[in-house]
């Protein structure tokens, strides 16, 4: 193989706002897990000299949520240094595909080989009989697709093909999902962490999910058979990141509670924290039955889990059944949330609006029930969205149902189809009012009072998080999960097909937006901060209680509106009573037989 230089440029694209500008921040929230994973794999390929002893491999990473991407400038830098290059647009979700297309075309125009991978490509190839038209067009222009995962040294193959100018139109590994154990550490250079909210990074310890939720793409992209990293892998990830000042982590596994090795993993983190005094903290995602796993919550919080995201999805059992989310039992919600609360963890939950049984009235009723009866800290609302790669998308496509052709809107924050019961307007209003209701001043005060009543409640942390969620939705018009600090806009980066605005139109409006948003930030935060000070100063704050945090008897549990207001709720209770009676009868028979 000839000597020379090979440049591998990894870019995690953002997506466009409603005006066609990339959603970008001076500081974004959490670094991309996909970018960290691929960078780790590329570092390993470079270390083992995947292109031979005489080829120098250069790696560059860009997260567009906090760094402007200028293809022409990147291309000029590659030409200045000399050598061959591959541009990889990585982790591309459906809502990011239009932005990825625009970037890919600009890189191709510079004569650079370009590849696109991520959930949109993998999901479409996994679930659809034919590649969507927008993907076909881009492939015909010369862009390469990568479907599946890049572990098991698959980057070596791609590097060799790119070096030789022999890239295939499609690298399809969807039928061969690799093991994760012993794979290279997901890691980003520390210089990129400065563009995020703090010393945060993310990684996964497992992929795949055994459940069958119809709205989910994970089961069709990462498979239903779970694959895991080992405790040794975990320790290596922590040590290598900790060495460069990263001590806060988001473990991105869709459901950490289903990781069969959860206990050895938590034990290793407990050792690092308690024996070696590592100051490390984690966010994890779990299901609604995690509290039934003996010692799971206790060990999670000892291991440093301070925030936990729970796939609540809905409190109507009929809706959950329709979405094939049979594992969620609403009769378990309060007990599970109370247990996390008792151990000092902040609880998040996702809530989907737009299930077939929803109406505008039922959605708003259910939000009020949650506010009153569940000891939940933060609630994130999502439109039920037929994401490419999900069963819902495949079914609607087969029926010829209308779905918005603009993939940029498939961010769970826009309505992209019609509802069987609600008008488009009612659905959109239900979504908007749900956010406004949950993050009202009154409910923020309730959450702060619940936190202040508990010795591990951390009301100041709750205040910060709730205001973050409220301000991202109200002031920035984005979902909190894609929020950040100080919105950046660049006049010439507008979406293709939209005109570049005149400077006299763009800049005055942009500066006015900055001023108006920050005034709203300050005024809203000051108002809620006074509520926080009042709660903190209350002499009887430890005595506060309400339905959500108070212990309840079995009889009073059945009287909750969450149970009474839905047919599925009353049936769930009745089923639970029957099962308990059958279990008791079985024990009684066993005792009687033993005595004989």
49-98 tens-digit pLDDT: 999 999 999 999 999 999 999 999 999 999 999 999 999 999 999 999 99
Do 554 and 576 lie in a common domain? no
Coil vs helix vs strand at 227: strand
- What pLDDT sits at residue 209? 82
Yes or no: say if 236 and 267 are a contact pair by the CB < 8 Å rule: no
- What pLDDT sits at residue 185? 87
- What pLDDT sits at residue 427? 98
Give domain status of residue 503, yes or no.
Answer: yes
- What pLDDT sits at residue 30? 76
Do 218 and 72 lie in a common domain? no
Q: What is the DSSP letter of 244?
A: T
Residue whose tokens read 């009745």? 574
173-230 tens-digit pLDDT: 999 999 999 999 888 877 766 677 667 888 999 988 887 788 889 889 988 888 999 9
Q: State the SS3 of 476-535.
A: HCCCHHHCEEEEECCHHHCCCCCCCCCHHHHHHHHHHHHHHHHHHHHHHHHHHHHHHHHH
Do 210 and 334 lie in a common domain? yes
β-partners of residue 281 are 248
Give domain status of residue 44, yes or no.
Answer: yes
Percentage of the chain beyond pLDDT 90 is: 73
Mean pLDDT, the chain, integer: 89
- Rounded CA-CA distance 457/512 in Å is 38
**How many CA atoms, within 13 angstroms, populate the side-chain half-sphere of residue 19?**
15
297-334 tens-digit pLDDT: 999 999 999 999 988 777 776 666 655 545 555 668 88
Biggest CA pair distance of the chain: 94
Do 239 and 162 lie in a common domain? no
In the chain, DSSP finds a helix count (H) and a strand count (E) of: 22, 16
Q: CB within 8 A of 162, min separation 6: which ones? A: 6, 84, 85, 86, 113
For 50, other C-beta atoms within 10 Å of its C-beta total 20
Do 120 and 211 lie in a common domain? no
Yes or no: say if 151 and 41 are a contact pair by the CB < 8 Å rule: yes
- What pLDDT sits at residue 32? 85
* pLDDT interval class at 574 (50, 70, 90): very low
Yes or no: say if 159 and 207 are a contact pair by the CB < 8 Å rule: no
Percentage of the chain beyond pLDDT 70 is: 89
Do 66 and 153 lie in a common domain? yes
Domain limits at 521? Answer: 439-561
Nearest partner of 218 among 391, 50, 394, judged by Cα:
391
Residue whose tokens read 């830098």? 77
Nearest partner of 422 among 477, 354, 376, 371, judged by Cα:
354
Do 410 and 552 lie in a common domain? no
Instruction: Indicate the number of domains in the chain.
Output: 4
For 320, other C-beta atoms within 10 Å of its C-beta total 25
Do 461 and 570 lie in a common domain? no
486-506 tens-digit pLDDT: 999 999 999 999 999 999 999
Q: Is the pLDDT of residue 573 over 70?
A: no
Stronger pLDDT, 336 or 578, i.e. the higher one? 336
Coil vs helix vs strand at 471: helix
Q: What are the CA-CA distances from residue 503 to residues 22, 490, 499, 509 (Å)? A: 18, 11, 12, 10
- Rounded CA-CA distance 290/297 in Å is 8
Give domain status of residue 364, yes or no.
Answer: no
Do 544 and 585 lie in a common domain? no
Do 147 and 79 lie in a common domain? yes
- Rounded CA-CA distance 220/207 in Å is 11
Do 161 and 216 lie in a common domain? no
Residue whose tokens read 């029930």? 369
Do 388 and 475 lie in a common domain? no
């Amino acid at each position: 193989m000839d000597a020379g230089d090979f440049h591998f440029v990894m870019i995690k694209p953002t997506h466009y706002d409603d005006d066609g500008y990339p959603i970008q921040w001076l500081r974004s929230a959490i670094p991309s897990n996909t970018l960290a994973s691929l960078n780790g794999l590329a570092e390993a390929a470079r270390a083992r000299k995947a292109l031979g002893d005489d080829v120098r491999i250069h790696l560059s990473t860009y997260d567009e949520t906090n760094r402007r991407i200028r293809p022409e400038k990147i291309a000029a830098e590659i030409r200045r240094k000399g050598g061959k290059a591959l541009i990889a647009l990585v982790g591309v979700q459906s809502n990011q595909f239009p932005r990825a297309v625009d970037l890919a075309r600009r890189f191709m125009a510079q004569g650079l080989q370009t590849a696109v991978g991520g959930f949109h490509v993998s999901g479409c190839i996994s679930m659809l009989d034919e590649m969507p038209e927008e993907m076909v067009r881009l492939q015909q222009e010369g862009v390469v697709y990568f479907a599946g995962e890049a572990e098991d040294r698959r980057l070596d193959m791609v590097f060799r093909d790119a070096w030789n100018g022999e890239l295939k139109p499609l690298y399809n590994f969807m039928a061969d999902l690799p093991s994760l154990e012993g794979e290279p550490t997901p890691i980003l250079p520390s210089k990129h962490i400065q563009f995020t909210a703090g010393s945060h990074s993310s990684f996964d310890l497992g992929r795949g999910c055994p459940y069958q939720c119809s709205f989910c793409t994970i089961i069709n992209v990462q498979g239903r058979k779970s694959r895991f990293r080992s405790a040794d892998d975990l320790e290596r990830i922590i040590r290598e990141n900790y060495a460069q000042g990263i001590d806060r982590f988001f473990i991105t596994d869709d459901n950490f509670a289903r990781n069969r090795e959860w206990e050895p993993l938590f034990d290793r983190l407990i050792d690092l924290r308690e024996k070696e005094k590592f100051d490390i903290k984690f966010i994890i995602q779990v299901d609604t039955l995690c509290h039934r796993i003996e010692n799971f919550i206790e060990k999670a919080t000892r291991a440093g889990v301070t925030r936990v995201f729970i796939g609540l999805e809905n409190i109507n059992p009929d809706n959950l059944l329709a979405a094939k989310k049979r594992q969620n039992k609403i009769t378990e919600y309060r007990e599970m949330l109370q247990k996390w609360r008792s151990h000092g963890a902040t609880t998040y939950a996702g809530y989907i609006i737009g299930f077939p049984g929803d109406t505008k009235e039922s959605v708003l009723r259910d939000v009020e029930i949650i506010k009153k009866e569940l000891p939940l800290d933060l609630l994130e609302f999502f439109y039920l969205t037929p994401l490419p790669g999900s069963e819902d998308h495949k079914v609607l496509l087969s029926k010829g149902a209308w779905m918005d052709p603009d993939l940029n809107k498939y961010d769970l924050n826009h309505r992209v189809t019609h509802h069987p019961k609600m008008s488009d307007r009612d659905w959109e209003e239900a979504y908007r009012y749900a956010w406004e209701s949950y993050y009202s001043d009154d409910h923020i005060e309730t959450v702060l009072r619940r936190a202040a009543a508990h010795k591990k409640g951390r009301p100041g942390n709750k205040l910060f998080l709730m205001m973050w969620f409220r301000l991202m939705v109200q002031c920035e018009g984005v979902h909190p999960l894609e929020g950040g600090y100080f919105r950046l806009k660049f006049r010439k980066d507008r979406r293709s097909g939209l005109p570049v605005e005149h400077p006299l139109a763009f800049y005055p409006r942009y500066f006015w937006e900055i001023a108006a948003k920050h005034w709203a930030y300050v005024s809203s935060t000051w108002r809620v901060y006074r509520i926080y000070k009042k709660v903190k100063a209350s002499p009887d704050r430890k005595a506060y209680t309400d339905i959500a945090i108070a212990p309840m008897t079995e009889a009073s549990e059945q009287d909750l509106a969450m149970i009474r207001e839905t047919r599925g709720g009353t049936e769930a209770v009745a089923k639970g009573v029957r099962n308990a009676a059958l279990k008791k009868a079985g024990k009684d028979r066993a005792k009687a037989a033993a005595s004989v």
